Chain A
Amino acid sequence: MLSLLNDRALLWVGALFYLAGFITGLVALTRRKAPAGLRPVLNTFLVIGWVVQMTGLYVRGIAVGGCPLGNKFEIVQFVAWSAMVLYFFVGTAFRMSVLGLFTAGYAATLALISLLIPTWDLVRGAKIFGQNPWIELHAALAVFSYGVFGLLALTSLMHLLQNWSLKHKRLNGLFWFLPSVVQLGEINYRLLALGVLLLTFSLGVGAAWWVRDTNSVDYPKLIVTLGVWAVYTTMLFFRWRAWLVSVRFAWVCLLMFFIALFSLGPVNSSRHHEVVLTPES
């Protein structure tokens, strides 16, 4: 029974609930008319998956004595969890839970990939936050902002699909359930603003401690992190000035998220001290 409470086992269960939600939503939406009860069913899968995933992260956090952001596996899991939190806040604005479907697919993909690559979870940083709650907050906010940017990538993808369907007059099937172009444009703008705000605050907290010990952070991590922040902030400025709008804005948001996701590699690999975890039996 105790083995069932293993953190990875819980994270597997959470990921499978996300996958079940995604499959349920996909099957329902590919029909001509989605059943009225789709949203509650989909949301039930997602809430259960999210609670189980959070329990898994909590168990991991207890085991490591801090916020579980010590390796790529934990960070990716946290990004998936963050995206789901955001969906619960903004998803109700979307008809037929189509954002729920996209978020379920996205969270399931991230969570399952992280679970299927054991090397991501073999080592983790030792006392990476130095028992400093501010650094822990900095890391948590930074990863949470990645969750926001992940959701932004999803809504950008929806924007591109809706734009394509309207331009090419292919209006049925899944396209029928997508929100309007204007709604997607507005939600993209707000998500970008929220992500930049969170990342700025996170970097502000990190910078306040970094100036006391400039050797505590490697330059690759510093450059990549500031680079990601600078690009997203520039995007926000361009969007505010209406220089980057509509499809171009959606493409940039989508592509930028993949770049940001890959930046987690250099950010994570620049830790000074790592410990090897016992592989899962």
Chain B
Amino acid sequence: METHSATLFLLGASHHTAPLAIREKIALDESRASALAAFLGSTPGVQEFALLNTCNRVEIYGVARTPDTLLTLRAGFCETTGCTLSELDAACFQRHNHDTVAHLFAVASGLDSQIIGETEILGQVKDAYDNALAHKWTGPVLNRVFQKTFQAAKHIRTHTGIGFGQISVATVAVDLAGRIFGDLSSTRVLVVGAGQIGLKAAQAFQSRGAASITVASRTLAKAGEAAALSGGWAMSLADLPEAVAGADIIASSTSSPDFVLTAEMIAASMKRRPARPLFLIDLALPRDVEPVAAQLANVFLYNLDDLAGIAEENLAQREAEVAKCRAILAQRTAALWPQVAQSLNQRRHA
């Protein structure tokens, strides 16, 4: 009788393979995730498994006694999510053994993410593993693979530039604020205009611990709504000159055809706080801040093009690091695989 080693497998779908409509269909809410886990746990031949479930991917990592087990899993996956087998075939991908390790390393390191180098995915992989460990779904093979994955991801983060810089307009602005003020916990943020982009900037500053956030809009009601969403205060645009003097960071995104913040207004406010820098973020088109204000001492003005340019530059630098990261991960995968293969062989006979 022919004997095989157990198989380390991955069955999943991600933003690379599945369009949004399919991802929505196969997304696992809590009850679906529990149902799928129950199915996996009761499937004969599935010795270990872990579920990684994020907004961009659903992936099942596991150890199967025989390759045929995967066919059963595909059927169960369809049953749980309600998608057809043909939809699953179009959207899903499978990896086996060495390639599964390589894929998990790349995912945890942020190389497979929609935003290359993002760090949130590592936390999500850790959560998935912790959940599997707590439910005793994992065993010697997956435990080893996941532990080595975390080490590899940490190494990539520490020794390469994959996480270099920020790559969205709002986070680039927050990053720049850090270069001007250092710790943002004592900075006062003024958001002029209650639009979506201004709100995103306000929320980004709030998440970095800005001391206060004030939203100014033509109508106080609109300002109030935006302020409530960003944990700040609302004010009318009529009080703008006074508010400018008290702010450290001003993000402006009104639809006004004229300059909302004139150089004269900013110069007057700087006279009242000469030692404190002022960071102006002009997110509006047409622009809200008179460009000549950039020439004032201690005033730093960035418009949409500037921020987008920095984001693109950072993204290009991250992409330039991908090849280096892949080479490092390939080495680590090659070093780990013989140990995993040995464990799989033992699992076959267990």
- Which A residues fall within an 8 A CB radius of B? 32-33, 35-36, 162, 166-167, 169, 171-172, 178-183, 185, 242, 245-248
Contacts and interface: CB of A to CB of B under 8 A. Distances in A.
5 contacts: A166-B300, A171-B179, A178-B179, A181-B179, A246-B297
Given A32-B317, A169-B306, A182-B277, A246 B164 contact: no
Contacts of B277: 181-182, 246
B176 interface: yes
A35 B313 CA distance: 21
Given A36-B158, A180-B178, A182-B182, A172 B313 contact: yes
Q: Which 7 A-B pairs have the closest CB atoms?
A: A180-B182, A245-B275, A246-B298, A32-B161, A33-B161, A183-B182, A242-B275
Interface in B273-295: 274-277, 294
Contacts of A242: 274-275
A190 to B, nearest CB: 14
B181 interface: yes
A247 B176 contact: no
A33 B158 CA distance: 9
B302 A169 contact: yes
Interface of B: 158-161, 164, 176, 178-182, 274-277, 294, 297-298, 300, 302, 306, 309-310, 313, 317, 321
Contacts of B178: 180
B160 A181 contact: no
Contacts of B274: 242, 245-246
B271 to A, nearest CB: 10
B176 A245 contact: no
B200 to A, nearest CB: 21
A179 B182 contact: yes
A230 B180 CA distance: 31
A77 B12 CA distance: 66
A246 B275 contact: yes
A242 B182 CA distance: 20
Nearest to A165: B179
A179 B183 CA distance: 11
Contacts of A246: 274-275, 277, 297-298
Given A33-B164, A166-B176, A172-B313, 14 more contacts: A32-B164, A32-B321, A33-B159, A35-B159, A166-B179, A169-B302, A169-B310, A179-B182, A181-B179, A181-B180, A181-B298, A182-B276, A242-B274, A246-B297
Nearest to A180: B182
Contacts of A166: 176, 179-180, 300
Contact of A180 (B179, B302, B306, B313): B179
Given A33-B164, A36-B158, A180 B181 contact: yes
A167 B317 CA distance: 22
A185 B275 contact: yes
B327 to A, nearest CB: 16
Nearest to B273: A242
A178 B179 CA distance: 8
